[in-house]
Chains A and B, each alone.
Chain A
């Protein structure tokens, strides 16, 4: 590993830490700018009870002190405080519970998108301008323009209501099939297009012609020479793909009633569970920032031709 690469990695890690800090700070101050405070929607309560509640949650202290306590608790013990609406539960526990389902959903969707996207993209590139290439490109163009909530609703109407072959409720067994497919279609379409264009680029290179001239067989050229190099741009998409899956899962979990982190987040926004909103935002943001960091660094490590600007 050369010093230039090391410097690049350090710079990116520093930027990532800075980003996470900005997210925490913005989240904290934005949430505390809301008028009325977290107990506004409660039934009319006496002033003393209000004061007792605020003292219990530390809301009576100066804002800056609250901020530093919050920051310290997150860094030292991953503590986002107690949930305001689900009494007696810590935010981090609720997030942990939701994460189990959501992680399963997200990882399977990402794997499905990655594998099918690469396969379809390669097929389209190898059969360029044939019927199958055109069909793949038309379908992927349509999928790329469809917001996730529309995709989810349409799949729900078709598969769970009109044909009734798959369960609509994400909490039942087999209920995750539709949410997974919904989440994976957009990244799959994107990866297909990415793979196709970079595969076409690679197939036009001199070393592929050399391999052909030496009499290397077709499949060996693709798997031995072309595929590896044409996957490099795909690596950069893994960060954005995770961000898509995280934000997509907010609506997809709502549509299919999946008991995951996305649904918990949306409902905590509607019933103003501030610590929950802040905690979830921060956890998901860290996840996205870290994935972006990894995919960017991996991109530079894998391809030494890329200059480190």
Chain B
């Protein structure tokens, strides 16, 4: 029976598929999670990747370099106990040495160079810049975390409970939002600086310095509003979802629903706006330090280094240019990275 008729069923088509054939039909692409998808999009974005690398380099070097650098940020090289102050160490130009160091070099010893010279009190300027960078980054990071925690708590409460609670919270938010923030920051920082000093004396917090603490308080008081607005908006739309109703029906309480269902669903928005908050905080810190309201001396921050450099600007312009470039680089790359993060993880937010 070789010859087939037109209506004849071809039995060959109904033979069970071999293993090889089955494998052919399997989808090649493994399933991907939301996070992995976002990372893939993020790494495709060249600007964001380069910014991330710059941020990582700056952060890691600001953490590692002070550990092995032979000079410290507060050590005035010309001041030795029991000896008159050696003024030859003050205001050294890059790669110059003080008198005693010069003598050591002539004696054949190796002396670690002052890459950026020294400042007017004879402190190694390079390590001050590195340390200042570290302070600025730390302040920016923790200030954003504080803003995140306060804003997230209040925003989610307002959004979930709605009604009168929402109304009252949102009116307070409106008023704080319309306050001229910088003026209030300056006012609070200048007063807290005076009030906190005596209070903190003797406690563990004293080492951090009253100015940085007051900076955190200012951020906690003033900058949570935009974060809480954002989260409230998200929660308002999320709480109408059916899984929330299901959770309520099975007897879940408000706090549980907020923590387990609502917050995880607005996590990408939260991460993005926190990332964009960090450069903002660094910006504010350097602004306050520049006005003399930032970190306590002798601790440097990029803003206070720039502020100090203003006095000897005509002779030592590089002392202004170096911290200025570092701040701009940090703020610029954090902003660009934040934009990339937003594009990668929340396409809805793109304008």
Query: Which A residues have a C-beta under 8 Å from some C-beta of B?
Result: 15-16, 18-19, 22-23, 26-27, 30-31, 33-36, 141-142, 144-150, 153-154, 156-157, 161-162, 197, 243, 246-247, 250-251, 254-255, 266, 269-270, 277, 281, 284-285, 288-289, 292
Contacts and interface: CB of A to CB of B under 8 A. Distances in A.
Given A243-B180, A247-B183, A285-B180, A157 B175 contact: no
A284 B331 CA distance: 27
Q: Which 10 A-B pairs have the closest CB atoms?
A: A145-B332, A247-B182, A150-B324, A288-B180, A157-B317, A145-B331, A19-B178, A149-B290, A285-B180, A269-B190
B183 A281 contact: yes
A285 B183 CA distance: 7
Contacts of B336: 141
A43 B94 CA distance: 43
B183 A157 contact: no
B324 A154 contact: yes
B324 A15 contact: no
A34 B182 contact: no
Interface residues of B, number: 42
A147 B178 contact: no
A30 B191 contact: yes
A30 B188 contact: yes
Contacts, number: 119
6 contacts: A15-B174, A33-B195, A251-B290, A254-B310, A269-B190, A288-B180
Contact of A157 (B182, B194, B313): B313
Given A18-B175, A22-B175, A35-B194, A243 B182 contact: yes
A226 to B, nearest CB: 19
Nearest to A262: B291
B321 A154 contact: yes
B114 to A, nearest CB: 21
A82 to B, nearest CB: 20
Nearest to B192: A30
B57 interface: no
Contacts of A153: 306, 309-310, 313, 320, 324
A34 B197 CA distance: 11
A277 B187 contact: yes
B187 A281 contact: yes
Contact of B317 (A36, A142, A148, A161): A161
Contacts of A247: 180, 182-183, 287
A15 B332 contact: no
A269 B186 contact: yes
Given A142-B328, A147-B287, A251-B291, A31 B178 contact: no
Contacts of B332: 141-142, 145
Given A247-B182, A247-B287, A285-B183, 17 more contacts: A16-B178, A34-B195, A35-B195, A145-B279, A146-B328, A147-B331, A149-B303, A153-B320, A162-B317, A246-B180, A250-B186, A251-B287, A254-B291, A266-B291, A281-B183, A281-B186, A292-B178
Q: In this complex, which of B178, B187, B190 has the most chain A Cβ atoms within 10 angstroms of its Cβ?
A: B178
Interface in B286-323: 286-287, 290-293, 303, 306-307, 309-310, 313-314, 317, 320-321
B327 interface: yes
Interface string B182-206: 1110111011001100100000000
Contacts of B287: 147-149, 247, 251
A200 to B, nearest CB: 11
